Chain A
Amino acid sequence: DAKTTQPPSMDCAEGRAANLPCNHSTISGNEYVYWYRQIHSQGPQYIIHGLKNNETNEMASLIITEDRKSSTLILPHATLRDTAVYYCIVRVAGGGNQAGTALIFGKGTTLSVSS
Protein backbone atom coordinates (compact mmCIF):
# COMPACT_ATOMS: atom_id res chain seq x y z
CA ASP A 1 0.00 0.00 0.00
CA ALA A 2 1.05 3.57 -0.68
CA LYS A 3 2.35 5.35 2.42
CA THR A 4 0.87 8.69 1.46
CA THR A 5 -2.59 10.27 1.48
CA GLN A 6 -3.68 12.77 -1.14
CA PRO A 7 -7.04 14.35 -2.02
CA PRO A 8 -8.54 12.60 -5.04
CA SER A 9 -9.07 15.76 -7.05
CA MET A 10 -8.44 19.51 -7.13
CA ASP A 11 -9.32 22.36 -9.44
CA CYS A 12 -7.20 25.38 -10.27
CA ALA A 13 -7.69 28.41 -12.48
CA GLU A 14 -5.11 28.99 -15.18
CA GLY A 15 -2.40 31.39 -14.04
CA ARG A 16 -3.04 30.79 -10.36
CA ALA A 17 -0.86 28.78 -8.02
CA ALA A 18 -1.80 25.15 -7.53
CA ASN A 19 -1.04 23.81 -4.05
CA LEU A 20 -1.24 20.04 -3.82
CA PRO A 21 -1.10 18.57 -0.30
CA CYS A 22 0.23 15.20 0.77
CA ASN A 23 0.20 13.48 4.15
CA HIS A 24 2.95 11.02 5.00
CA SER A 25 2.70 10.70 8.76
CA THR A 26 4.65 7.41 8.93
CA ILE A 27 7.65 8.64 6.95
CA SER A 28 11.00 7.32 8.18
CA GLY A 29 14.10 9.41 8.74
CA ASN A 30 15.83 8.10 5.63
CA GLU A 31 12.86 8.45 3.30
CA TYR A 32 12.56 11.20 0.74
CA VAL A 33 9.36 12.72 -0.61
CA TYR A 34 9.06 12.42 -4.38
CA TRP A 35 6.48 13.96 -6.68
CA TYR A 36 5.59 12.67 -10.11
CA ARG A 37 2.79 13.52 -12.47
CA GLN A 38 1.09 11.62 -15.25
CA ILE A 39 -0.61 13.36 -18.09
CA HIS A 40 -3.36 11.29 -19.65
CA SER A 41 -2.07 8.16 -21.43
CA GLN A 42 1.59 9.14 -21.00
CA GLY A 43 4.30 7.80 -18.72
CA PRO A 44 4.79 9.45 -15.32
CA GLN A 45 7.13 12.43 -15.22
CA TYR A 46 9.48 13.22 -12.33
CA ILE A 47 8.85 16.66 -10.83
CA ILE A 48 10.85 17.15 -7.65
CA HIS A 49 11.99 15.47 -4.46
CA GLY A 50 13.24 16.48 -1.00
CA LEU A 51 14.25 15.19 2.40
CA LYS A 52 13.53 17.95 4.91
CA ASN A 53 14.46 21.27 3.34
CA ASN A 54 12.19 23.08 0.93
CA GLU A 55 13.18 22.56 -2.69
CA THR A 56 12.55 24.49 -5.88
CA ASN A 57 13.27 23.74 -9.52
CA GLU A 58 12.04 24.98 -12.86
CA MET A 59 8.83 23.01 -12.57
CA ALA A 60 7.68 23.41 -8.98
CA SER A 61 8.41 24.04 -5.33
CA LEU A 62 8.21 21.48 -2.56
CA ILE A 63 7.41 22.57 0.97
CA ILE A 64 7.98 19.96 3.69
CA THR A 65 6.74 20.58 7.22
CA GLU A 66 9.27 20.61 10.02
CA ASP A 67 8.00 17.30 11.43
CA ARG A 68 8.09 15.87 7.87
CA LYS A 69 4.62 14.41 8.23
CA SER A 70 3.20 16.36 5.32
CA SER A 71 4.27 18.31 2.28
CA THR A 72 2.85 20.57 -0.41
CA LEU A 73 3.74 20.71 -4.07
CA ILE A 74 3.34 24.17 -5.51
CA LEU A 75 2.94 24.93 -9.20
CA PRO A 76 3.35 28.72 -9.10
CA HIS A 77 1.49 29.58 -12.30
CA ALA A 78 -0.64 26.67 -13.43
CA THR A 79 -1.33 26.23 -17.14
CA LEU A 80 -3.75 23.98 -18.99
CA ARG A 81 -0.86 21.63 -19.70
CA ASP A 82 -0.45 21.02 -15.97
CA THR A 83 -3.72 19.09 -15.94
CA ALA A 84 -2.61 15.63 -14.79
CA VAL A 85 -2.61 13.12 -11.96
CA TYR A 86 -0.03 14.09 -9.34
CA TYR A 87 1.56 11.39 -7.22
CA CYS A 88 3.30 11.92 -3.88
CA ILE A 89 5.62 9.02 -3.02
CA VAL A 90 7.94 8.38 -0.10
CA ARG A 91 10.92 6.11 -0.48
CA VAL A 92 14.49 5.71 0.62
CA ALA A 93 17.07 7.56 -1.45
CA GLY A 94 18.92 4.40 -2.25
CA GLY A 95 22.39 3.03 -2.15
CA GLY A 96 23.49 -0.55 -2.51
CA ASN A 97 20.64 -2.97 -2.89
CA GLN A 98 18.08 -0.26 -2.37
CA ALA A 99 19.17 1.53 -5.50
CA GLY A 100 16.71 -0.25 -7.69
CA THR A 101 13.79 0.06 -5.33
CA ALA A 102 10.64 0.68 -7.31
CA LEU A 103 8.17 3.44 -6.70
CA ILE A 104 4.88 2.58 -5.03
CA PHE A 105 2.16 4.65 -6.62
CA GLY A 106 -1.13 5.47 -4.94
CA LYS A 107 -4.15 6.96 -6.63
CA GLY A 108 -2.74 10.49 -6.63
CA THR A 109 -4.55 13.80 -7.02
CA THR A 110 -6.21 14.64 -10.31
CA LEU A 111 -5.51 18.32 -10.91
CA SER A 112 -7.78 20.04 -13.40
CA VAL A 113 -6.62 23.43 -14.63
CA SER A 114 -9.25 25.46 -16.40
CA SER A 115 -9.24 28.79 -18.23
Chain B
Amino acid sequence: ETGVTQTPRHLVMGMTNKKSLKCEQHLGHNAMYWYKQSAKKPLELMFVYNFKEQTENNSVPSRFSPECPNSSHLFLHLHTLQPEDSALYLCASSHTAGVSYEQYFGPGTRLTVT
Protein backbone atom coordinates (compact mmCIF):
# COMPACT_ATOMS: atom_id res chain seq x y z
CA GLU B 1 0.00 0.00 0.00
CA THR B 2 1.68 3.19 -1.21
CA GLY B 3 -1.01 5.73 -0.37
CA VAL B 4 -1.97 6.08 -4.03
CA THR B 5 -5.12 4.29 -5.14
CA GLN B 6 -6.44 3.77 -8.65
CA THR B 7 -9.84 2.65 -9.86
CA PRO B 8 -10.83 0.59 -11.65
CA ARG B 9 -8.02 -1.94 -11.55
CA HIS B 10 -9.16 -3.52 -14.80
CA LEU B 11 -11.19 -2.01 -17.63
CA VAL B 12 -12.36 -3.38 -20.95
CA MET B 13 -13.91 -0.88 -23.32
CA GLY B 14 -14.95 -0.66 -26.92
CA MET B 15 -13.54 1.92 -29.28
CA THR B 16 -16.72 4.01 -29.16
CA ASN B 17 -17.06 4.03 -25.37
CA LYS B 18 -16.26 6.83 -22.95
CA LYS B 19 -14.72 5.91 -19.62
CA SER B 20 -12.67 7.55 -16.89
CA LEU B 21 -9.76 6.39 -14.76
CA LYS B 22 -9.49 7.73 -11.24
CA CYS B 23 -6.45 8.26 -9.04
CA GLU B 24 -6.41 9.44 -5.44
CA GLN B 25 -3.43 10.08 -3.19
CA HIS B 26 -3.49 10.28 0.60
CA LEU B 27 0.08 11.51 1.03
CA GLY B 28 -0.35 15.27 1.04
CA HIS B 29 1.56 15.59 -2.24
CA ASN B 30 1.10 18.46 -4.67
CA ALA B 31 2.28 16.88 -7.92
CA MET B 32 0.49 14.09 -9.75
CA TYR B 33 1.40 12.17 -12.88
CA TRP B 34 -0.07 9.82 -15.47
CA TYR B 35 2.20 7.22 -17.07
CA LYS B 36 1.46 4.61 -19.71
CA GLN B 37 3.14 1.22 -19.85
CA SER B 38 2.57 -0.80 -23.01
CA ALA B 39 3.64 -4.40 -23.28
CA LYS B 40 7.42 -4.78 -23.28
CA LYS B 41 8.00 -1.02 -23.40
CA PRO B 42 9.38 1.35 -20.77
CA LEU B 43 6.98 3.53 -18.83
CA GLU B 44 6.08 6.66 -20.77
CA LEU B 45 5.08 9.92 -19.15
CA MET B 46 1.72 11.30 -20.29
CA PHE B 47 0.84 14.26 -18.08
CA VAL B 48 2.14 16.16 -15.05
CA TYR B 49 0.12 18.35 -12.70
CA ASN B 50 1.60 20.70 -10.11
CA PHE B 51 -0.83 22.27 -7.66
CA LYS B 52 -3.72 21.32 -9.97
CA GLU B 53 -2.12 23.01 -12.99
CA GLN B 54 -0.98 20.95 -15.94
CA THR B 55 2.73 21.52 -16.41
CA GLU B 56 3.55 18.82 -18.93
CA ASN B 57 1.73 17.10 -21.78
CA ASN B 58 4.00 14.61 -23.47
CA SER B 59 2.37 14.87 -26.93
CA VAL B 60 -0.55 12.75 -25.85
CA PRO B 61 -3.45 12.34 -28.35
CA SER B 62 -6.57 14.30 -27.52
CA ARG B 63 -8.58 11.12 -27.00
CA PHE B 64 -6.91 11.14 -23.56
CA SER B 65 -8.13 14.06 -21.46
CA PRO B 66 -6.76 14.59 -17.95
CA GLU B 67 -8.50 16.43 -15.14
CA CYS B 68 -7.10 17.47 -11.77
CA PRO B 69 -9.82 19.04 -9.60
CA ASN B 70 -7.57 19.23 -6.53
CA SER B 71 -4.14 18.09 -5.41
CA SER B 72 -5.45 14.75 -4.17
CA HIS B 73 -7.39 13.61 -7.22
CA LEU B 74 -6.48 12.99 -10.83
CA PHE B 75 -8.66 11.65 -13.61
CA LEU B 76 -7.97 10.41 -17.10
CA HIS B 77 -10.99 10.65 -19.38
CA LEU B 78 -10.96 8.26 -22.31
CA HIS B 79 -12.98 8.43 -25.52
CA THR B 80 -12.76 6.81 -28.95
CA LEU B 81 -9.66 4.87 -28.03
CA GLN B 82 -7.77 2.55 -30.35
CA PRO B 83 -6.68 -1.05 -29.68
CA GLU B 84 -3.07 0.13 -29.45
CA ASP B 85 -4.07 2.18 -26.40
CA SER B 86 -4.39 -1.05 -24.45
CA ALA B 87 -1.84 -0.77 -21.67
CA LEU B 88 -1.25 -0.41 -17.95
CA TYR B 89 -2.00 3.18 -16.89
CA LEU B 90 -0.14 4.27 -13.79
CA CYS B 91 -0.73 7.25 -11.57
CA ALA B 92 1.96 8.68 -9.29
CA SER B 93 2.34 11.57 -6.86
CA SER B 94 5.21 13.43 -5.21
CA HIS B 95 6.07 16.46 -3.13
CA THR B 96 6.95 19.71 -4.83
CA ALA B 97 9.20 21.18 -2.18
CA GLY B 98 12.35 20.06 -0.43
CA VAL B 99 15.07 17.76 -1.65
CA SER B 100 13.28 14.45 -1.94
CA TYR B 101 10.96 14.08 -4.90
CA GLU B 102 10.50 10.36 -4.90
CA GLN B 103 7.30 9.43 -6.65
CA TYR B 104 4.82 7.01 -5.23
CA PHE B 105 2.89 4.94 -7.72
CA GLY B 106 -0.55 3.43 -7.61
CA PRO B 107 -1.20 -0.17 -8.65
CA GLY B 108 -2.34 0.85 -12.12
CA THR B 109 -5.39 0.28 -14.29
CA ARG B 110 -5.07 -2.50 -16.85
CA LEU B 111 -6.96 -1.18 -19.89
CA THR B 112 -8.03 -3.33 -22.81
CA VAL B 113 -9.58 -1.66 -25.86
CA THR B 114 -11.57 -4.01 -28.07
The answer on a CB contact under 8 Å between B106 and A43 is yes
Provide the bound-state CA to CA distance between A90 and B43, in Å.
Answer: 15
Provide the bound-state CA to CA distance between A45 and B102, in Å.
Answer: 10
Number of interface residues of B (CB under 8 A): 34
Cross-chain pair count, CB within 8 angstroms? 72
The answer on a CB contact under 8 Å between B48 and A100 is yes
The answer on a CB contact under 8 Å between A100 and B100 is no
Main secondary structure of the interface of A (DSSP, over half): loop
The answer on a CB contact under 8 Å between B48 and A49 is no
The answer on a CB contact under 8 Å between A41 and B92 is no
Give chain B's interface residues, CB within 8 Å of chain A.
2, 4, 30-31, 33, 35, 42-43, 45, 48-50, 55-56, 58, 88, 90, 92, 94-108, 110
Give chain A's interface residues, CB within 8 Å of chain B.
2, 34, 41-46, 49, 91, 93-95, 97, 99-108
